[in-house]
């Protein structure tokens, strides 16, 4: 069962192979969502400072009654925090808001502030300072693993060349019709686990007839096919849902996708619009 399976990070830490995304779930609603997920069997919860729901996630964990050491909690440094001091203070705030003694995985949310998303400003020097604060938190036991999110190859190379501790994770957008194979391969070659956010493409793939045909062939839902696709890439899917039945169904991926169908899915025509989610950056407060 996928909920019992784990990847190993480069430092030996185990991370559950399926996580629950919590983007756009507010502090009030996320409490019950986290409790329901834990009851179903989820042990990996993904959040971020920018999601503004760490307090609710902390409450959900406490009210679930489960032991802290049975859970894997990920958060992310706000993309706008690009100094050592800002990063250090934000880690302490996340620990306080989550009401935990340590965070299992802490990521840099993006290489640039959201209002500079994918601009020519690379922020190499700034990210080295953010990383220095993360390395310090790691050495002090405040975080058990450190990594990045939305980093391209040159962003990763900057840290790989200038860090004492190498990034352990890169969390990026991956789904059927959007699979950055060269970046995934680069990460794997450098022992960086790749996590996939929005593995169901914000729901847009649910309307894709070709994907639906393949899902039907395996007698599974499109969402289940999307999650299994990520796992077949040896990446970690982070589907986000507030629907309890969907949450349960997303764990039912005990089937295989043939090599032929994987090639079809890998070469699926790119989705050009995510409807109301098409605007990036998604957070621009900082």
Cβ pair 114, 80 in contact under 8 A: yes
Among residues 42, 51, 123, 138, the one annotated as catalytic is: 51
CA gap 213, 10 in Å, rounded: 38
Name the token pair of 242. Answer: 């507030």
Instruction: Report the half-sphere exposure of 134 (CA within 13 A, side-chain side).
Output: 32
Cβ pair 34, 74 in contact under 8 A: no
| Interior/surface letters 43-66, b for 16+ CB within 10 angstroms, e for the rest | bbbbbbbbbbbbbbbbbbbbebee
DSSP string for 118-167: T-S---HHHHHHHHHHHHHHHHTTSBS-EEEES--HHHHHHHHHH-SS--
The Cα angle at residue 268 between residues 264 and 272, in degrees rounded to 5: 170
Would you call 51 a catalytic residue per the annotation?
yes
Give Cα 94 to chain centroid, integer Å: 17
Contacts of 62 (CB under 8 A, 6+ apart): 99
Name the token pair of 226. Answer: 């999307």
Catalytic residues: 51
């Amino acid at each position: 069962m996928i909920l019992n399976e784990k990847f190993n990070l480069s430092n030996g830490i185990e991370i559950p192979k399926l996580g629950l995304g919590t983007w756009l779930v507010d502090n009030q609603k996320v409490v019950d969502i986290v409790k329901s997920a834990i009851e179903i069997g989820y042990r990996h919860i993904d959040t971020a400072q920018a999601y503004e729901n760490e307090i609710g996630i902390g409450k959900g964990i406490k009210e679930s009654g489960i032991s802290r050491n049975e859970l894997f909690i990920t958060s992310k440094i706000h993309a706008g925090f690009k100094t050592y001091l800002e990063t250090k203070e934000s880690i302490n705030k996340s620990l306080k808001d989550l009401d935990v003694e340590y965070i299992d995985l802490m990521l840099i949310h993006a290489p640039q502030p959201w209002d500079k998303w994918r601009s020519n400003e690379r922020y190499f020097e700034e990210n080295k300072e953010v990383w220095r604060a993360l390395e310090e938190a790691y050495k002090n036991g405040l975080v058990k693993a450190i990594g990045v999110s939305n980093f391209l190859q040159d962003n990763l190379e900057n840290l790989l060349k200038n860090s004492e501790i190498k990034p352990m994770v890169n969390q990026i957008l991956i789904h059927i019709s959007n699979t950055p194979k060269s970046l995934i391969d680069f990460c794997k070659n450098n022992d960086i686990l790749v996590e996939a956010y929005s593995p169901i493409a914000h729901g847009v793939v649910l309307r894709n007839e070709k994907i639906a045909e393949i899902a039907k062939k395996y007698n599974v839902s499109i969402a289940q096919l999307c999650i299994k696709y990520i796992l077949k890439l040896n990446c970690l899917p982070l589907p986000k849902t507030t629907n309890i039945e969907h949450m349960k169904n997303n764990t039912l991926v005990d089937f295989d996708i043939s090599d032929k169908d994987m090639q079809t899915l890998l070469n699926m025509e790119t989705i050009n619009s995510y409807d109301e989610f098409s605007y990036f950056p998604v957070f621009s407060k900082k």
